[in-house]
Structure 1
């Protein structure tokens, strides 16, 4: 289910999150990002919301599977909105691409994470599959 057509308060309620005005504002702002975003990206847009509120809200959203966390090696945790209505099977998770020149991390929505075998008794909670290199724009700039 694509959450972009559903009211933010409905989405938060469905994820078990009480929809306060600040949480709704943060959720709406997150939806404006096409790919991944960092807390610093949110801070830049939401200068009226303090850093600790943003941090706590992102942690709450991650705990309730409204956002996915991604470590791309940049030293800054990136987030992307879960578009699967918080019911993400491994087969629904997608890959990401980190550009080593512009330092942006792109969602590769249609490139799914390959199946990985792991030992019986283990419980997988997160899989990150990250490709690194140059995005099309940075690659084009290097070949000019």
Structure 2
């Protein structure tokens, strides 16, 4: 299983790509660096504007899909309906990519943040239903905007 992204010494983008058996490309490194520097989830539009015009929209989509498949990032749903993406802060892999933590969206700044330490309680589904993904979004005001 790949090393965690929260190890005592944080991995670089290049190390993370190597740990997940991905080729080292400039696009992947720059996109992964962007996630590593962000403390909140990023929408595709955020990513495009931060990376600039040198990055093709389709390439960004493909890279995000690869990062999702490899367990490097996870999808964050918020009330806007468009997915955002956040760096996996614990060990995830292709076969074990579950995030049972709460997401928080601030009404003032609009940022969506993973609250890794707040777990979603286990929900017993009726017979015949199989859980594939669970999302819990709490909305309010973040500590930075509360000041």
- TM, length-normalised to structure 1: 0.81
* Cα drift, residue 134 of structure 1: 2.8
Please state if 1:20 is matched with 2:25.
yes
Aligned pair partner of 1:110 in 117, 121, 124: 117
Equivalent pair of 2:71/2:97 in contact (CA under 8 Å): no
Rounded Cα–Cα distance in structure 2 between residues aligned with 1:115 and 1:134 = 26
Q: Does 1:124 align with 2:143?
A: no
Counterpart for residue 63 of structure 1: 69
Give the deviation of 1:111 after TM superposition: 0.9
Write out aligned runs for 1:1-144 (5 A).
Answer: 1=4, 2=6, 5-47=10-52, 48-87=54-93, 93-120=100-127, 122-139=129-146
Q: Report if aligned partners of 1:96, 1:130 keep a CA contact under 8 Å in 2.
A: yes
CA deviations over 1:3-55 (Å, ceiling 9, x no partner): 67223233223223222221111111111111211111111211021211111
More helix by share: 1
Q: Quick check: 1:30–1:42 contact (8 Å CA) kept in 2?
A: no
Gapped regions of structure 2 (runs ≥ 5): none
What RMSD over aligned residues (CA atoms) do the two structures have, in Å?
A: 2.3
- Structure 1 stretches lacking a partner, 5+ long: none
* Length-normalised TM-score, structure 2: 0.79
Q: Which runs of 4+ in 1 moved over 3 A?
A: 87-90, 119-123, 136-140
